[in-house]
Amino acid sequence: MHASGPTPDRRRAAGLAAEQAAVSLLERLGHHVLARNLRLGHLEVDVVSTDPADGSLVLTEVKARRGGRHAPELRVDRRKRLHLETAARMLLCRPGLRRRAVRFDVIAVTLDAEGRPESLRHVPRAFDAAGRRPGQ
């Protein structure tokens, strides 16, 4: 019996390509990228950057998906939002980051059939520090 879907290596390569595309987008928007795949204990943040417009610390979750009906950003569930909020509190304890405004963004990446980034959608302020999406 053959497993359907991409192999773990292809899936990892697609994920790395999606993250690189997201970082490139943030850099084009003027962000200064501080870290990629930052590990804070058991937590991981895909991209940590600063926004030049207001100096805020931006924690960005990158979600990639091949086609489909559902938007990739909808896969950032409540648990992941709360993990990012906890990671932000940990980062704000570090010298140089104290008293910074924090923002949580999502970059949704749609992949083509080969796993290459086809389109990106940046969702600034995708949720607040309590893990709530706008309108919740």
What are the tens digits of pLDDT across the range 85-106?
Answer: 999 999 999 988 888 899 999 9
* Topology annotation, domain 8-127: Trna Endonuclease; Chain: A, domain 1 (3.40.1350)
- Judged against a pLDDT cut of 70, whether residue 2 lies above it is answered with no
Q: Which helix (H) or strand (E) holds 87?
A: helix 78-91
The pair phi, psi for residue 111, each rounded to 5°, is -100, 150
Q: Domain spans of the chain? A: 8-127
The pair phi, psi for residue 51, each rounded to 5°, is -95, 120
Please state the pTM of the whole predicted model.
0.85
What are the tens digits of pLDDT across the range 32-83?
Answer: 999 999 999 999 999 999 999 999 999 999 998 876 666 666 778 889 999 9
CA end-to-end distance (rounded Å), the chain: 44
Distance separating alpha carbons of residues 18 and 29, to the nearest angstrom: 17
Q: Which pLDDT value is given to residue 70?
A: 66
